[in-house]
A and B are shown apart, each in its own frame.
Chain A
Amino acid sequence: MQELGKAELNSTRIIRQDDNRVVIEKDLDTEYMVLSMGPQHPSTHGVLRLECITDGEVVVEAEPYLGYLHRCFEKYCEKVDYPGIVPYTDRMDYLAGMNTEMAYCMAVEKMLDIEIPRRVEFIRVIVSELNRIASHLVAIGTYGIDLGAFTPFLFCFRDREHILNLLEWISGARMLYNYIWIGGLSYDVPADFKKRLSEFVTYFKPKTVELQKLLTENEIFVKRTKGIGIMPADVAINYGWSGPMLRGSGVDWDLRRNDPYSVYPELDFKVALPDPKFCDIGDCLARHVVRAIEMEESLKIIEQCLDMMPGVDGFNSRVAIPKKVRPKAGEVYSRAENPRGEVGFYIVSDGKSTKPLRCKARSSCFVNLSAMKDLSRGQLIPDLVAIIGSIDIVLGEVDR
């Protein structure tokens, strides 16, 4: 009997028969299987490869491999002058080009120490909040697809198209704008922009509620996301998480409020935090809920900006743009709240050249993704998909 007990421990199965005999099955240990997920896999949202060590249906460990979209952003920065870098920043986080442009321009403006016209600041906030909504719509829509909900995706992309049309109207491009320049904007907004934007706000407001009903209150969706991939707040901070990811873990932290820039201190908005009634704090659903609330807050910000924006009479959006950008010797680390978290630029200038000596982009997804190995431990493979989706990565920004 003792031997039988020992055998039970050593991955053997003992089947007791009726006639007081036993059948022993030996060596039932499952072997770990290495499963490569991506780089071409729809659920990895781009060219990310996860090397999953799996034990049956359970992921023992998933190690992300990146760099498939590495385009030497930082090396290019040392070859191009300061204004020339702006289009490259678009191509980092291509779903939120305006926000990244703004973060970069603010960093250079800090070094130059120039005053930005108030109207420019308001337009910048409007376009970056619009871009935040567009980006969250992609995040939410594709997250739905990852988990098998197809309809929300179509709704999201229909509404995103309106935003892209607006942004195309003011900048000429749908995604890679080159609209925010150091010291100003490439163009002022068109004459009717205010009217069409407020039309959009009125149109979109009920849509956010509809989307909530479709997805956040959807039983199947909740079952797939609630309690999955939980990240405690202190670990999230230690991992350097930011944006909706950090707020999803219940940390009340938003750079628009905690390290205020532009005209955000004048605006009234609340930092989106998950409601423990709907989700467990720090799980995939919490992160989704934060994004959903943030869209509504962004709408509020846009409405306020429309009211507060100074008039248009003979305004030149290029008035504060310096002829030659040559910051004095020094360094700066400046950041902004992007849809995916903190995007920062560390720039070193030698004071002589019109090109930066060093320009490092702190990417939010890169940092958020670095927790993947810990998050994936012991999860089921379908849950792994739910976790990657909730991180909302843009590989252009991860790899730069």
Chain B
Amino acid sequence: MDNGMEEAGNIMPAAVLESKAAYDIIRGRFGDAVSEFDANPTMPFFEVADASKWVDIALFMRDDARLKFNYMACLSGVDYMEQEQLGIVCNLESIGHYPHRIAVKVKCRREGGSIPSVACVWHTANWHEREAYDMYGMTFEGHPDLRRILCPEDWTGFPLRKDYQVQETYHGIKVPY
């Protein structure tokens, strides 16, 4: 077991090792609510297997003295069409405390799925979740103000879904040209 870890350590770049150390702390606290760690060199991430724990995990990541992920760099919505799922990818890091950074994925059903909102944990998530909702149509439970942000309020459909069909007319204006 130890040898295995060491071997893996030899291959992993330093940045990934830091993310792994942070992941181990989260895993230690939440166990099976988080998935295995994906140690790819371009964006190491883990997945939240039990989406209902996402806010707890987020709060723990932000406030735990060993983690201090106080900065959310980005939150992107993604359409996993083959698995019939939608998801978000959050890139987190710690400003002024630790050099580690990690990405977290949360997924939900494709039709009518919802993900707990972390807008109360990181303010950045507020507008980014609105954007993800606008583009993909998953709802964020507990979001303070979940409206469309880039598209008009009365737009139909969610443009970044892979099977999106643009509407024929919008207020009498022909849309596809």
Contacts and interface: CB of A to CB of B under 8 A. Distances in A.
B56 to A, nearest CB: 18
Contacts of A344: 73-74, 91
Interface string B35-64: 000001011010000000000000000000
Given A111-B42, A333-B91, A362-B74, A371 B151 contact: no
B167 interface: no
A239 interface: yes
Given A70-B150, A70-B151, A335 B73 contact: yes
B96 A67 contact: no
Given A111-B42, A346-B89, A333 B160 contact: no
A238 interface: yes
Contacts of A370: 123-124, 126-127
A67 B147 CA distance: 12
A366 interface: yes
B37 to A, nearest CB: 15
A181 B43 CA distance: 22
A110 B96 contact: no
A67 B76 CA distance: 17
A238 B70 contact: yes
Output the residue of A111, A252, A358 with the most chain B CB within 10 A. A358
Number of chain B interface residues as a range: 20 to 34
Contacts of B79: 358
B135 interface: yes
Interface of A: 66-67, 70, 72, 74-75, 78, 110-111, 234-235, 237-240, 251-253, 330-335, 342, 344, 346, 348, 358, 360, 362, 366-367, 370-371, 399-400
Nearest to B162: A78
12 contacts: A66-B149, A234-B70, A238-B122, A239-B123, A240-B71, A251-B95, A253-B96, A330-B40, A331-B89, A367-B127, A367-B128, A370-B123
Contacts of A348: 78
Nearest to B151: A67
Interface in B60-106: 70-74, 76-79, 89, 91, 95-96, 103
Given A239-B123, A240-B122, A360 B95 contact: no
Contacts of B77: 360
A399 B150 contact: yes
B177 to A, nearest CB: 13
Contacts of A74: 135, 160
Contact of A67 (B122, B124, B150): B150
Given A75-B159, A75-B160, A367-B124, A237 B95 contact: yes
